[in-house]
Chains A and B, each alone.
Chain A
Amino acid sequence: MGRFPIFQSPHLDEVERKMRPSGDYRHGFLGKDDRKLVQVLSEDEALVRSLSLTDGAIARKLADLTAQARKGLGGPVVVEGRFRVQVQEARGKIACPWGHPGLYPKTHVELTNLATGERLVWTDLAVHMIEAHGFYQGQGSPYRMEPSVLKRVLDL
């Protein structure tokens, strides 16, 4: 399990509480996923490893695409000649449910692979949660990032 928790600590309980819909995060980072947070984390960790990827590599790619998209000031930008990426930013900021200092802008990044038409969506906070916590969100969350889909669409 490396740097990730091996049991559902009280802190993880608190994080999970914040992630369930109808709390501070109404859509719920866990969506309709009824697994414990530690299960979601550990199963995704295994999935990422089986794809020969790392959270860091995935997060870096997403952060780079977000930075490129920002140059469009809200309009779509073609990146690397193969992705159309657009970032929309709403008013306000959002905190990481793990509770450490720092706020993330309310972004919605949308990427289309120009060759296949496949689509990905993420947020600045989603990138942080992948990088810092290995969290790809729960099944049914609007921003769930399936590691195998990430690998295929981004050609990682």
Chain B
Amino acid sequence: MIQLVLGLAALSGVTAVLALLLEVADAYFADYGECRILINDGQKELTVQGGSKLLSTLMDQGIFIPSACGGRGSCGLCKLRVLEGGGPLLPTETPYMEAEDLQNAVRLACQVKVRNDLKLEIPPELFLIRVYRSRVVSLENLTDVIKGVELRLIDPPEISFKPGQFVQFQVPEYEGCPEPIYRAYSIASPARRADTIRLAITRAPNGLATTYIHDYLREGDEVVFNGPYGHFYLRDTDREMILVATGSGLAPILSILHQMADEGISRKATLFFGVRARKDLFYQEELRAIEQRLPTFKNVPVLSAPEPDDHWQGETGFPTDAAKSSIQDPANVEVYLCGNPLMINAAVKMFTEMGIGEDRIFYDKFG
């Protein structure tokens, strides 16, 4: 028995050493040379050095594919069609692939390595995404766990985005984070303020990016971000709008409400903003100002666990339940959701059961 175990251990050791040597050799000696990347039937053609992941290779060339996890293979957002040269689908990609994706040669850009010439198809709107250098002009504790971050653009000096969209914030290398990472945060500010964006960022327990933003980021620091991304924006219809937000999910909805006020869009709109207690409410003065400018808009804060000192007379419970009881005519309603994924999943189920089609329920699904 001991001989068998020793034999297996020796065999394993040799195999492990060989595997390690292969990895080292690939990292240091593999030379994939120059590779050509043809995009959208030759609309763009890139010549790049092979050997890196497609996501970072494209980023180096100024083409930004949305990714909420910064290329760690944990969000499934960086999908694009690799028509030729991508090699076989990897086990790390399959969990994110729908049947339709598999038929259409969809891959995760963060998992495909550039080893040879490639043919890709990329949505043209992604070519408009830019890298922005900016400076932190203010930091504000909006609640115990949500930090407001205001960034003034340096280069380029202005950004154009659809209210509701998000940017990818680059967290630089810092203690405990050996290389830069990217995380997606929605823009809370109005689109008319093209030289500044405002973000509201919730501290995630053990989160690398939010730990940096909450504990290390200082006013005056330079911040790099890219964007804008996302399909969460105001649809051009006359339907009644039900907006449901929890926590920092208020950010993109606030930006949409600013757009409505600025453009005088007088659709009936009700925001159900769910937090735990009165101390967790934020941006309320701004929402009251929008109510003044938009008589058809109503802000309904919903507290799930008001404290005795709150003397709360308003709505309590889940914001989804408050929203449900307000809907008179589901056939004429459009729903906008942003917040924690548990709320979004529950809300989509509840609204579809009410007869509101998924084509009238809008949210950014990050995973």
Contact = CB atoms under 8 A, between A and B. Distances in A.
Q: Which of B12, B247, B343 has the most CB of A within 10 A?
A: B12
Given A73-B320, A142-B206, A91 B16 contact: no
A73 B12 contact: no
A142 B206 CA distance: 7
A94 B96 CA distance: 11
Contact of A103 (B95, B247, B276): B95
A105 B341 contact: yes
A108 B73 CA distance: 19
B300 to A, nearest CB: 17
Interface string A5-21: 01111100110000000
A95 interface: yes
Contacts of B50: none
B266 interface: no
Given A7-B9, A74-B343, A92 B366 contact: yes
Contacts of B304: 72, 75
Contacts of B129: none
Given A24-B72, A73-B318, A108-B206, A102 B342 contact: no
Contacts of A54: none
Contacts of B95: 93, 95, 101-103
19 contacts: A6-B5, A7-B8, A7-B9, A9-B8, A73-B246, A73-B343, A74-B247, A74-B339, A74-B340, A75-B276, A76-B305, A90-B204, A90-B207, A90-B341, A91-B68, A91-B366, A102-B95, A105-B341, A142-B205
B74 A95 contact: yes
Interface string B270-283: 00000010000000
Nearest to B69: A92
Interface of A: 6-10, 13-14, 22, 24, 26-27, 70, 72-76, 87-95, 99, 101-103, 105-106, 108, 110, 121, 142-143
Contacts of B184: 91
Contacts of B96: 103
B342 A89 contact: yes
Contact of A9 (B12, B92, B339, B366): B12
Among B9, B246, B342, find the residue whose CB has the most chain A CB atoms closer than 10 A. Answer: B342
Interface string B169-191: 00000001110000010000000
Nearest to A89: B341
Contacts of A103: 74, 76, 95-96
A7 B12 contact: yes
Interface in B64-81: 68-69, 72-76
A76 B5 CA distance: 49
Contacts of B247: 74
A48 B214 CA distance: 38
Nearest to B366: A91
Nearest to A142: B206
A95 B178 CA distance: 21
Which of the listed residues A73, A95, A142 has the most CB atoms from chain B within 10 Å of its own CB? A73
Contacts of A6: 5
Contact of A91 (B5, B75, B178): B75
A126 B208 CA distance: 18
B188 to A, nearest CB: 17
List 4 A-B pairs, minimum CB-CB distance, nearest first.
A91-B366, A92-B75, A108-B205, A74-B340
B15 interface: yes
Interface string B114-151: 00000000000000000000000000000000000000
B75 A93 contact: yes
Contacts of A27: 206, 208
A121 B204 CA distance: 13
Given A88-B340, A108-B206, 5 more contacts: A73-B342, A74-B247, A91-B341, A108-B205, A121-B205
A94 B74 contact: yes
Interface string B73-98: 11110000000000000011011100
Nearest to A75: B304
Contacts of A143: 206
Given A73-B343, A74-B246, A75-B276, A88 B205 contact: yes
B337 to A, nearest CB: 12
Contacts of B343: 73-74
Contacts of A93: 74-76, 95, 367
A104 to B, nearest CB: 10
